[in-house]
């Protein structure tokens, strides 16, 4: 069956789904986006993603194009029309199409709203097979990485560098030698003293929805973790490193820059966090009706 996209009020075959050449997303990367994992036709952590979408829109001075309830209805319809039960739902909202000028156009055009759905591999069962390699790469992004903007060129270049070196993720290092995040993921370490840590949230990183979901699950399980900045040297000395994101779930990193992390095997705490998150996904998939946030 051919894929169906949603574009500005219409459901269209992907091949006919288009936006204007004057769209500000294309011209200026003037827009934001979200990615939500779909499991058993249910959107996982949808409420966290919609809350972040609202924050991203507010941060770039855009009004929400519609209510969250209306967005969820359209998402449910997109899922139905694509007849897909496991996948990734992408939503892009830009400031719309208007003659090119940097400042916000006056009058404001209608925002562009695009949604697509694509097949994703099944949720991983074998964590050893899911383990990945990473490289480190300079963080060359702007000063508001907390906004989930469609301006992803530095992330694209970092990810390509990872691919060219046979790795799956690029872990970004700032000018002070501190780890910020992955090109498309949050980085967690189990430091040399055995403490689970991820970086403090500020303008230098995207507040990951998977990070937020994992943090709540850890609290519920009584598993201690800390939020603090950590350096490249600390990450290199870490016992375990893993990533979280809507597309990689909880993904062990067993090699960084071709050097093994710890003993080069999936660590105990990583395994535990993966299992807890896998249960959460299974529960959400069973409990949340498509089109309705929990
Ligand atoms: C730069 C960056 N950091 C972190 C994340 C993880 O966010 P989430 O858990 O919401 O997928 C992503 C996801 O795409 C990302 O692009």
Q: Kindly report, residue by residue over 230-264, the tens digit of the pLDDT.
A: 999 999 999 999 999 999 999 999 999 999 999 99
Q: Decide whether any atom of ligand 1 lies within 6 Å of the 180 Cβ.
A: no
Rounded CA gap, 6 and 12, in Å? 6
Structural domains for the chain: 4-119 (3.30.470.10), 127-283 (3.20.10.10)
> Residue 171: beta bridge partners?
136, 182
Which ligand 1 atom is nearest residue 212's CA?
9
**Cβ neighbours around 74 below 10 Å, total:** 17
Q: Report whether pLDDT(104) > 70.
A: yes
Q: Kindly report, residue by residue over 214-235, the tens digit of the pLDDT.
A: 999 999 999 999 999 999 999 9
**Cβ neighbours around 188 below 10 Å, total:** 24
Q: Decide whether any atom of ligand 1 lies within 6 Å of the 206 Cβ.
A: yes
Residue 294: what pLDDT? 41
Residue 290: what pLDDT? 52
Residue 143: what pLDDT? 98
* R_g of the chain, CA atoms, integer Å: 19
From atom 15 of ligand 1, which residue's Cα is the shortest distance away?
Answer: 184
Sequence-distant (≥ 6) Cβ neighbours of residue 37 within 8 angstroms: 43, 44, 45, 88, 89, 120, 246, 247, 249, 281
Rounded CA gap, 211 and 244, in Å? 6
Strands 112-119 and 87-94 turn out to be antiparallel
Residue 287: what pLDDT? 84
The reply to whether 148 belongs to the active site is yes
Q: Which two tokens stand for residue 278?
A: 């896998």
**Percent of the chain scoring above 90 in pLDDT:** 95
Look up tokens 């990951």; give the residue.
Answer: 208
Helix (H, G, I), strand (E, B) or coil at 162: helix
Nearest to 24 by CA among 119, 95, 81: 95
Give the pLDDT band (50/70/90) at residue 1. low
The secondary structure element, H or E, covering residue 7 is strand 4-7
Distance 99 CA to ligand 1 centre (A): 32
Distance 206 CA to ligand 1 centre (A): 6
Q: Report whether pLDDT(292) > 80.
A: no
Q: Report whether pLDDT(171) > 70.
A: yes
Residue 288: what pLDDT? 56
Distances (CA, A) of 99 to 20, 21, 49, 102, 241: 11, 10, 31, 10, 47
Rounded CA gap, 181 and 147, in Å? 14
From atom 1 of ligand 1, which residue's Cα is the shortest distance away?
Answer: 184
Q: Report whether pLDDT(68) > 50.
A: yes
- In eight-state DSSP terms, residue 109 is P
Q: Decide whether any atom of ligand 1 lies within 6 Å of the 159 Cβ.
A: no
Q: Kindly report, residue by residue over 105-161, the tens digit of the pLDDT.
A: 999 999 999 999 999 888 999 999 999 999 999 999 999 999 999 999 999 999 999
State whether the Cα torsion 43-288-210-119 is positive or negative: negative
Given the residues 110, 148, 272, 292, select the one marked as catalytic: 148
**Phi and psi angles of residue 133, each rounded to the nearest 5 degrees, phi first:** -105, 150
**Pocket perturbation via mutation, ligand 1, pick of 37, 170, 208 by most ligand atoms within 8 A of CB:** 208
Which ligand 1 atom is nearest residue 186's CA?
4
Asked if residues 120 and 38 have their Cβ atoms less than 8 Å apart, the reply is yes
Q: Decide whether any atom of ligand 1 lies within 6 Å of the 209 Cβ.
A: yes
Distances (CA, A) of 255 to 193, 204, 261: 19, 24, 5
What integer best gives the mean pLDDT of the chain?
Answer: 96
Q: Report whether pLDDT(284) > 60.
A: yes
């Amino acid at each position: 069956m051919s894929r169906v996209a949603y574009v500005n009020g219409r459901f269209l075959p992907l091949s006919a789904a288009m936006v204007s050449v004057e769209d500000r997303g294309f011209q200026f990367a003037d827009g934001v986006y979200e990615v939500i994992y779909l499991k058993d036709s249910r959107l996982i952590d949808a409420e966290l993603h919609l809350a972040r979408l609202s924050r991203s829109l507010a941060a770039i001075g855009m009004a929400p194009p519609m209510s969250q309830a209306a967005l969820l209805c359209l998402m449910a319809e997109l899922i139905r029309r694509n007849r897909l039960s496991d996948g990734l739902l992408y939503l892009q909202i830009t400031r719309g199409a208007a003659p090119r000028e940097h400042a916000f156009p006056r009058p404001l055009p209608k925002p562009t709203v695009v949604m697509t759905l694509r097949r994703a591999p099944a949720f991983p069962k074998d964590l050893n097979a899911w383990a990945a390699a990473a490289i480190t790469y300079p963080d060359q992004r702007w000063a508001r990485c907390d906004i989930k903007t469609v301006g992803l060129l530095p992330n694209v270049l970092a990810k390509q560098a990872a691919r060219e070196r046979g790795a799956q993720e690029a872990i970004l290092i700032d000018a002070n030698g501190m780890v910020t995040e992955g090109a498309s993921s949050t980085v967690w370490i189990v430091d040399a003293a055995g403490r689970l840590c991820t970086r403090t949230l500020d303008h230098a990183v995207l507040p990951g929805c998977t990070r937020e979901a994992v943090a709540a699950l850890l609290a519920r399980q009584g598993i201690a973790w800390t939020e603090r900045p950590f350096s490249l040297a600390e990450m290199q000395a870490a016992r375990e490193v893993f990533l979280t994101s809507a597309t990689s779930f909880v993904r062990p990193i067993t090699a960084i820059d071709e050097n093994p992390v710890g003993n080069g095997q999936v660590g105990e705490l990583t395994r535990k966090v993966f299992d807890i998150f896998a249960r959460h996904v299974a529960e959400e998939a069973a409990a949340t009706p498509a089109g309705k946030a929990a």
